[in-house]
Amino acid sequence: MAQQNVVKKESEMAQEGFEPRILGFFCHWCCYAAADSAGVSRYQYPPNVRVIRVMCTGRIDARFILEAFRCGADGVFTGG
Amino acid sequence: MAKSGAIMVLGGGVAGVQTALDLSELGYYVYLVEKKASIGGVMAQLDKTFPTNDCSL
Amino acid sequence: MCTMYCPRPVVDTYNERLDITRAPHIDYAQAIPSSYYIDAKACLRVNYETCNLCAQTCTAGAIDFSQQPKELELKVGAVVLTPGFGRVDDEVLERFGYGRFPDVLTAFEFERLTCASGPTEGHIVRPSDNQVPKKIAFLQCIGSRDETCGNGYCSSVCCMYAVKEASVAKEHEPDLDISIFFMDVRTMGKGFDEARKRAQEKYGINVIRARVPRVDQVDGKLALTWTTGDGEHHSDLFDMVVLSVGLESPEDAETIARVTDIELNHYNFCRTSVDSPLLSSRGGVLVAGAFQGPKDIPESVTQASGAAAIASELLADARNSQTVTVTYPDEDKALEEEEPRIGVFVCHCGVNIAGVVDVKAVRDYAGTLPGVVLYEDTLYSCSQDALKSIAEKIKENRLNRVVISACSPRTHEPLFQETLRSIGLNPALVEMANIRDQCAWVHAQEPDKATEKAKDLVRMAVAKARLLTPLDQPTVDVTPSALVIGGGAAGMSAALSIADQGYKVVLVERSKELGGNLKRLKWTLDGQDASKVLKDMIKKVKAHKNIQVFTGSQVESVSGYVGNFTSALSRQGKTEMINHGVIVLATGGREYKPKGYAYGDSTRIVTQLELEEKLARGRGFLRNARNVVMIQCVGSRGDDMQHCSRLCCIQAVKNALKLKELKPELNIYIFYRDMRTYGFYEDLYREARKQGVKFIRYTLDRKPEVIKQSRGIKVRAFDELIGEDLEIPASLVVLSAGIAPGENEELSKIIKAPLTSEGFFLEAHAKLRPVEVAVDGVYLCGLAHGPKSLEESVAQAKAAAAKATIPLAKGKVAVAPIVSKVDQDKCIGCGICESLCPFNAIVLEKVGKRKKAKTITASCKGCGVCASHCPTIAISMGGFTDEAIMAQIHAFSPEGCEEA
């Protein structure tokens, strides 16, 4: 259901305590809903992802992903 | 005598809530009566539903 | 706050008494209404006029002890009874150790144990020692199928919930050893048998067919003894026993019956009949759900919609006479076009957000962002008071963009959109930052990082808000008529209901006459003359001024969308076009044609329906008959088709009783796998056994054989109890051939309504939208949906009629504004978007000499596939424009990220 593309910069990986900044594109109907229900169930996960809601992962243009990396994302998560 | 366009639904479980929703969409005023403090009935107490194990809330 | 300060503990009934709460409380976090209430039985102030702590601590001043009960008199046109079901007496449960041994739980209690928000946070532990159990036994039919407690009926849901609870338990604790003790495995719902089989294999759940008479405790463990079908006795020890408790009639059934003046049946449920399952004995009083008889969620939801349809038929003249219409002020277009003036409201959500995230820091941070002119924090943004105050502040500060930093837009965006509309702003001008569900709740241990994340989310939301534009709220007019496809019992019932609700119906039947499978039925399951039920129905349909019948006709093509369909009907080579707003699929199914069992080799080997046809012609063929053998699950449950055909068990028992009535000295044998006479039909099964009908269980690997000999027929089968083969010379063999889907493939393609792997039409949601299909404006009922009885078909047809009438009654369909829009100046007419759109919502049209793409707004679901693939960026998505998403991406970086 979800694919994760985490691009890790080797130099940073070497540093202790590297915290990746991940940008997520979540589908309104499934992944975003799942992220909400993870909250309702109080599942805990690391606070590294920032989410942009889209109505469908079909909305995601390749340019969005490239732009995310250009703006400093260490990883892009598309969930749909 | 003119008919009333209002309907009373007695019981706010899943059946009552569904009846009330449909009736309001069909153009009627609904009084939904429930004994307890919240609607949802027994379904709200269920963790998951068969067979897909979806959350029931 | 009130719950925190109340000194009075009470047992938490929502958590099945497994937890403790206080007198003022809320049953669960998502309860509706979402306000706390006081348990008046426990409250010190109510009972002893002391305390009052809660009223003093409530910051909202919402506790008022001067309230008195009020009596209201309401004038209503109809009443729908949906009181649900009651609980089986503890006395019955005590026989199985409940209340005496702590580790005997009811399934309702076990359900709360497996729930992540339950008293143990989803940990399955034994109440006696808080240890995880190793071996669990589920005992079925507790308080069901048990005349000793007065409940002779089957509760119809316990087999499913036991399998579910066992599966969930195995997911929590994979090493658990779980056994379920069934009398019969009754998973007869649509897709249920397959799901049960999968769960059994996936989780390794032991299925034991035996009734456990009692539970004993031995050395802290629970001891069970039972006898299996081969006569062997067994015993074993378990750590926990779960009682699969049945559904009782509601505890106030008699009061309800007295007050509403309706009749109850012998089990204290509402009395109804097979041809009108939702009518009580009193006109205008309708019933739906478990009070009509034990049933599961999809059946209850279906009946609920069906009851709504009947009320709507009765009161069609008074439609819209008492509804309240909300009006909105005109939009302030000038303000909307001004430079963005953004207001940010950061919600505490009580302690839900503020307990983790530093709300005030987030609020102050919002103030530093460009375009923000107002930044505030609110205790509960969604409360009525807060909404009013937000509306006032928007007006005072002439805000034209709003960011609500709170919970999920999935649940709360409509509420804030409504607030904007109420003060003359376009609802598309609000954006939400989800700092609760996707921040505070999931990072509870890391408040600093959660606060950082909340700031980032607010920054991204503000960036998007700057680029929000007002969106039209388009509506389309609806053609006020329905097309019903299929003229069987379901199709006719649906057509009659829609027509009685005041709308035109075109009823299309492929064969030469109306009636479908009902034509072949001799008796209904409650013993009525089926042909009379059919005749009455046909007469009403033909006489109805709103119904036009097309027999010998087929649907050739369907185009359009909800509210505006155009279909081509062909009759005797001629094609007629009709316009209609909605479609009801009632194409039916057919009796499965048996393979094997020497079917077709003799006129004395027949199906159940053929038997009824024979009986309709007279009883002559029974003159020399001695032994009748019925074989269940012919074609069903993995024999050829995968599904259970649901009604053959009841049909066989019904016909066996009829044969006994005609010729009491007949020997009748029924070979079955599980007798699935659910609900009140268990009475028929018990009666058949009482009258000496012999029921013999078989398994799929040892199916009975029908052998046609030169003189007569012989049935050979293995009898588990005596451990030997039986040979029965049969005067008549009746095969309970299941229900196969009709020829739905072509229609499925025409309408784009998906089918199940079995070939039945697939509903939009198995539980909550059982009569809708994935295509808007198309509804489903009868055997086209799956095997079911006449009673269930009629209820479902009414439900489909209710759903189908909704758009007709509204006269307009609203279209979500999040749709694609093509800039035809930029479009090069390549057609990529048209080929990709999953909803046929983009077409190429001729504009001048070239082709250009155009969105059919009513069909568009706003997924945006077209926009992301357009090579010239000519397509923009309402609310999710390229610019807005790009702005969010740029704002992802705390330092900001300039456009490249």
**Full DSSP string of C803-861:** HHHHHHHHSEEE--S--EEE-TTT-----HHHHH-TTS-EEEEEETTEEEEEE-TTT--
Q: Is B33 on the interface with C (CB under 8 A)?
A: no
Q: Is A58 on the interface with C (CB under 8 A)?
A: yes
- CA-based R_g, chain C, Å: 32
Give mean pLDDT, residues C265-284.
95
B1-19: per-residue pLDDT in tens? 678 999 999 999 999 999 9
- What's the token pair of residue C80? 């729908």
Q: C655 burial class (0-12, 13-18, 19+ CB within 10 angstroms)? A: buried
Lowest mean pLDDT among B19-23, C38-42, C165-169: C38-42
| Measured CA distances, A25 to C233, C863, C882 (Å) | 59, 13, 13
Q: For position C557, what pLDDT does the model report?
A: 93
Report d(CA C289, CA B11) in Å as an integer: 10
Q: C74 burial class (0-12, 13-18, 19+ CB within 10 angstroms)? A: exposed
Residue numbers in B near C809 (CB within 8 A): 25-27
Category of C561 on φ-ψ map: left (φ > 0), alpha (ψ -120 to 50) or beta = beta
Residue numbers in B near C297 (CB within 8 A): 14, 43, 49
Give mean pLDDT, residues C730-752.
94
Residue numbers in C near A36 (CB within 8 A): 408, 410-411, 434, 437-438
Q: Is C457 on the interface with A (CB under 8 A)?
A: yes
Residue numbers in C near B44 (CB within 8 A): 27-28, 30-31
Residue numbers in C near B9 (CB within 8 A): 79-80, 82
Domain range annotation of chain C: 1-73, 90-245, 333-466, 477-588+742-809, 591-738, 820-894
Category of C204 on φ-ψ map: left (φ > 0), alpha (ψ -120 to 50) or beta = left
Residue numbers in C near A71 (CB within 8 A): 889-890, 892-893, 897
Give mean pLDDT, residues C195-219.
93
Q: How far is B36 from chain C (nearest CA, A)?
A: 10
CATH 2.60.40 fits C333-466, yes or no: no
Q: For position A11, what pLDDT does the model report?
A: 53
Please state, as a whole number, how many other Cβ atoms lie within 10 Å of the Cβ of residue C28.
17
Residue numbers in C near B33 (CB within 8 A): none
- What's the token pair of residue C69? 């009960």
- Share of residues in chain C with pLDDT > 90 (%): 77
Report d(CA C254, CA C233) in Å as an integer: 43
pLDDT tops 70 at residue C672:
yes
C112-140: per-residue pLDDT in tens? 998 877 888 888 999 999 999 999 999 99
| Measured CA distances, B17 to B49, C79, C84, C664, C781 (Å) | 18, 14, 11, 48, 21
Q: Is the peptide bond before C102 cis (omega within 30 degrees of 0)?
A: no
Q: How far is C441 from chain A (nearest CA, A)?
A: 5
Q: Is A15 on the interface with C (CB under 8 A)?
A: no
Contact A25, A32 (CB under 8 A): no
User: Where do the DSSP E strands lie in C619-757?
Assistant: 627-634, 667-672, 694-697, 705-708, 713-719, 724-730, 732-737, 739-741
Lowest mean pLDDT among A14-18, C128-132, C248-252: A14-18
Q: Suggest the residue from A40, A48, A57, A63 to mutate for an interface test with chain C (most C CBs closer than 10 A).
A: A40
Q: Is C594 on the interface with B (CB under 8 A)?
A: no
pLDDT tops 60 at residue C585:
yes
CATH architecture for residues C820-894: 2-Layer Sandwich (3.30)
Please state, as a whole number, how many other Cβ atoms lie within 10 Å of the Cβ of residue C846.
9
Across C319-342, b (16+ Cβ under 10 Å) vs e yields bebbeeeeeeeebbeebbeeebbb
Q: For position C900, what pLDDT does the model report?
A: 63
Q: Where are the alpha helices (DSSP H) in C76-191?
A: 90-94, 107-114, 158-172
Q: Is the pLDDT higher at B42 or at C502?
A: C502
Report d(CA C436, CA C349) in Å as an integer: 8
Q: For position C607, what pLDDT does the model report?
A: 97
C174: DSSP letter: T
Q: Which residues pair with C716 in a beta bridge?
A: C705, C727
Report d(CA C460, CA C894) in Å as an integer: 10
Q: For position B56, what pLDDT does the model report?
A: 53
- CA-nearest of C651, C628, C653, C635 to C700 is C635
Please check whether the two domains, C477-588+742-809 and C591-738, share a CATH topology.
yes
Q: For position C659, what pLDDT does the model report?
A: 95
Contact assignment for C885 to A64 by CB distance below 8 Å = yes
Report d(CA C812, CA C477) in Å as an integer: 5
CATH 3.50.50.60 fits C477-588+742-809, yes or no: yes
pLDDT band at A16 (very low <50, low <70, confident <90, very high): low
- CA-based R_g, chain A, Å: 13
Q: For position B1, what pLDDT does the model report?
A: 61
Give mean pLDDT, residues C569-586.
95
pLDDT tops 70 at residue B52:
no
Please state, as a whole number, how many other Cβ atoms lie within 10 Å of the Cβ of residue C378.
23
Q: Is B39 on the interface with C (CB under 8 A)?
A: yes
Report d(CA C708, CA C720) in Å as an integer: 24
Q: For position A2, what pLDDT does the model report?
A: 40
Report d(CA C191, CA C755) in Å as an integer: 13
Q: Where are the alpha helices (DSSP H) in C211-319?
A: 253-260, 297-314
Q: Is the pLDDT higher at C604 or at B40?
A: C604
ipTM greater than 0.95: no
CA dihedral A8, A12, A17, A20 (to 10 degrees): -40
Q: Is C508 helix (H, G, I), strand (E, B) or coil?
A: strand
pLDDT tops 70 at residue C827:
yes
Please state, as a whole number, how many other Cβ atoms lie within 10 Å of the Cβ of residue C183.
17
- Model-level pTM? 0.83
Q: For position C324, what pLDDT does the model report?
A: 84
Q: Is the peptide bond before C33 cis (omega within 30 degrees of 0)?
A: yes
Contact C253, C290 (CB under 8 A): no
Contact assignment for C81 to B26 by CB distance below 8 Å = no
Lowest mean pLDDT among C227-231, C408-412, C475-479, C815-819: C815-819
Q: Is C813 on the interface with B (CB under 8 A)?
A: no
pLDDT tops 70 at residue B54:
no
Subunit partners of chain B (3 or more CB pairs within 8 A): C
Q: Which fold has domain C90-245?
A: FAD/NAD(P)-binding domain (3.50.50)
Q: Is C263 on the interface with A (CB under 8 A)?
A: no
Q: Is C449 on the interface with A (CB under 8 A)?
A: yes
The residue assigned the tokens 């009907």 is C569
The mean pLDDT of chain C is 93
Q: For position C289, what pLDDT does the model report?
A: 96
Q: For position B37, what pLDDT does the model report?
A: 85
pLDDT tops 90 at residue A17:
no
Subunit partners of chain A (3 or more CB pairs within 8 A): C
Q: Is C172 on the interface with A (CB under 8 A)?
A: no
Q: Which fold has domain C591-738?
A: FAD/NAD(P)-binding domain (3.50.50)
Q: For position A7, what pLDDT does the model report?
A: 45
Q: Is B49 on the interface with C (CB under 8 A)?
A: yes
- CA-nearest of B47, A34, A45 to C118 is B47
- CA-nearest of C569, C570, C619, C587 to C517 is C587
Q: Which residues pair with C634 in a beta bridge?
A: C737
Contact C630, C652 (CB under 8 A): yes
Give mean pLDDT, residues C665-669.
97
pLDDT band at C23 (very low <50, low <70, confident <90, very high): confident
C760-785: per-residue pLDDT in tens? 999 988 888 999 998 889 999 999 99
Give mean pLDDT, residues C525-529.
85
